[in-house]
Structure 1
Amino acid sequence: MAFYDLPKSERADRVLAIKGVIKDALLSYNLQKVRLLYSDDDTYIRKSAYLVTGRLYSGDVTLRPAILAMLFEFRSDPDFKVRQTVINAAGEIGKWDFEGVRYYFDEGLKDPHHSPRNAVIGSVKKMGEVNPTPVLAWAGEYLHHEDKEIRREICHGIELRGRKHPEDILPLLAELQHDRTARVRNTLVHVIGQIAYKKGCLAIVLADLKGWENRPLVDAALEEIIDVHHRYRNFAALTQAEAIKLIDAHYPDRKRKSSGKAY
């Protein structure tokens, strides 16, 4: 039976069982049962496994060397699900000990399968939200990487921090404004829109965009911000009309486009 088909009490028991399996495996360094959890077809079993790994790392100092050795052993497993779970486990650890696991994100960005690469994005989001200084410094090293997909993934990965603290990521985003790849620029516009509709963020974003050099990209970002305030109108801090009024105050020369979406 799939994990979320179980009653809530049985799910809790299953998580405890997973914790026991992983802890016993670490103590004996017989990792086959952990590998089975890391490669399980059920996403939620794998999620429970990487969450347990992170909790064991933070809660038991004596297990940390064994956990790091296990992740290192699994890092190049032939099964992409194992590699994905390794990165997610490293993401849990990196919420407070990024330097101890940054290797897995460097490697994950180069993974041939999209799932581990997506796990890097998800991990950067959750780490950057609570441990921004080392995570954003690391992300900054990849903003001009030769691989356009890596640049795009980094842009996407730092988004979550910007939803509460746009000032932390706007300098990094600005470095991508002249990116030569449309896919990267489109992701950049998307991220700007995603951080701008949160409470207290729009004015900060607009003030920062005033200093950007690529006016066509800024205009595209402004249109995205307006559109987002309609698409997410049930969650946005401002109405679309309020957002437009604030945008027009910052950009009185802006040429309006008619997208047919509210306005």
Structure 2
Amino acid sequence: MGFYDLNKQERLNLVAEINKNILAELVTSDYKETIRYFADEDTYVRKSAYLSIGKIYHTKEAFRVEIISCLERFFAETDFKIRQTVINAAGEIGKIEFESIRHFFDKGLFDEHHSPRNAVIGSIKKMGEVNPVPVLKWAKLYLHHEDKEIRREICHGIELRGRKYPQDILPLLKELQYDQTARVRNTLVHVIGQISYKKGCIQTVVSHLKLWENKQLVEQALEEIIDVHDRYKDFAVLTQEQAQRYLEDHIS
């Protein structure tokens, strides 16, 4: 029976049980239940496990060393779901403390399976949103990596911080303006659109784009900005027509 096949109280009881069992096994270092949660076929069971790890790490300092040790043991497992859950658990920790879990991301970027790599992107998003300084500093190290997928994943990963604070990621995005790989350029253009439609953001984005040298890419980005104001019209501050007029008035 899946997590959401349970009623609300049953789900609450299961989450409490997961938390209790993980905490107990952190005492004994015998992780029979914990690793079962990390490998569960149900994504919501795995999510409950990594959220529990993050909560324990931040509220019970005495377990921090043991938690990192546990995650390192699990990260060597052959089951990609376990490695994916490790990355997500590390992401919960990294919302507040990045350096202690940085090595999981240095390795996870190159995982042989796409699920842990996708977890890296998701974790960069959630960490970068609330703990941007160390996360963006780390991300910058991979902006020009020889592997095009690494560059694309980093570009995608820093997007969420830019939704509210585009000025924080635009200098990093600028470094990708001459990337020769279509997938990277397409992701770059997509991210520029995604960070342009909330209050005050289009002004910041446009002021930066005016300083970019690659005018062809800037033109693609401007088209994406106009388009995103239609696709996200229920959430955008400006209408598509207002966004287009703003671009016409401020881009010479």
The bucket for the TM-score relative to the shorter chain is: over 0.9
The 5 A counterparts of 1:190-205 are 190-205=190-205
Which residue pairs with 2:62 in the alignment? 62
Structure 1 position 71 matched with structure 2 position 71:
yes
Aligned position for 1:127 = 127
In 1, the alpha carbon distance for the partners of 2:170 and 2:116 equals 26
For each residue in 1:174-231, what CA deviation from the matched residue of structure 2 results, as whole angstroms up to 9, or x when unmatched? 0000011111000000000000011110010000000000000000000001011111
SS of equivalent residue, structure 1 residue 101? helix
Counterpart AA for 1:117: R
Question: How far did residue 250 of structure 1 move?
Answer: 1.6
Q: Distance in 2 between matches of 1:122 and 1:215?
A: 30
SS at match of 2:233: coil
Where do residues 106-117 of structure 1 align in structure 2 (5 Å cutoff)? 106-117=106-117
Q: How does 1:225-244 map to 2 (within 5 A)?
A: 225-244=225-244
Aligned position for 2:216: 216
- 1:35 pairs with 2:35: yes
Spell out, residue by residue over 1:93-136, the C-alpha distance to the aligned partner (whole angstroms, 9 max, x if none): 00011001000000100001000000000000000000000000
Normalising by structure 1, we get a TM-score of: 0.95
Q: Residue 196 of structure 1 aligns to a residue in which SS?
A: coil
Give the distance between the partners of 1:211 and 1:32, measured in 2 at CA: 56
Partner of 1:150: 150
CA distance in 1: counterparts of 2:235 and 2:150, whole angstroms: 30
Aligned mates of 1:182, 1:8 — CA distance in 2? 45
2:92 aligns with 92
Q: Secondary structure at the match of 1:163?
A: helix
Match of 2:12 in 1: 12
Distance 1:177 1:137 in 2: 19
Which 4+ residue blocks in structure 1 deviate beyond 2 angstroms?
none
CA distance in 2, matches of 1:47, 1:114: 18
Task: Give CA-to-partner distance per residue, 1:35-64, whole Å, 9 cap, x none.
Answer: 110000000000000000000000101111
Aligned equivalent of 1:159? 159
Report the alpha carbon displacement of residue 249 of structure 1 after superposing the two structures with TM: 1.0
Query: 1:147 & 1:84 partners in 2: Cα distance?
Result: 21
**Structure 1 residue 24: Cα displacement:** 1.0
Using the alignment, how far apart are the partners of 1:7 and 1:240 within structure 2? 42
Aligned partner of 1:50 in structure 2 is 50
Does 1:245 find its partner at 2:249?
Answer: no
2:168 equivalent in structure 1 = 168
Q: Percent identity?
A: 62
- Of stretches 83-92 and 25-34 in structure 1, the one that deviates more from structure 2 is 25-34
Give the Cα–Cα distance (whole angstroms) in 2 for the partners of residues 81 and 251 of structure 1: 47
- Give 1:239 shift: 0.2
Residues of 1 paired with 2:9 and 2:34: CA distance?
23
- Deviation of 1:9 after TM superposition, in Å, equals 1.3
- Distance in 2, matches of 1:158 and 1:199, equals 19
- Which amino acid in the other structure matches residue 10 of structure 2? E
Question: Could you tell me how far 1:32 is from its partner in structure 2?
Answer: 1.9
Could you tell me which runs of 5 or more consecutive residues in structure 2 were left unpaired when the two chains were aligned.
none
How far, CA to CA, are the matches of 2:102 and 2:90 in structure 1?
8
What residue in structure 2 maps to residue 257 of structure 1?
none
Structure 1: which 5+ runs fail to align? 253-263
How much has 1:7 moved relative to structure 2?
1.1
For the aligned residue pairs, the C-alpha RMSD in angstroms reads 0.6
Name the CA distance, whole Å, in 2 between partners of 1:102 and 1:237.
Answer: 36
SS in 1 for 2:111: coil
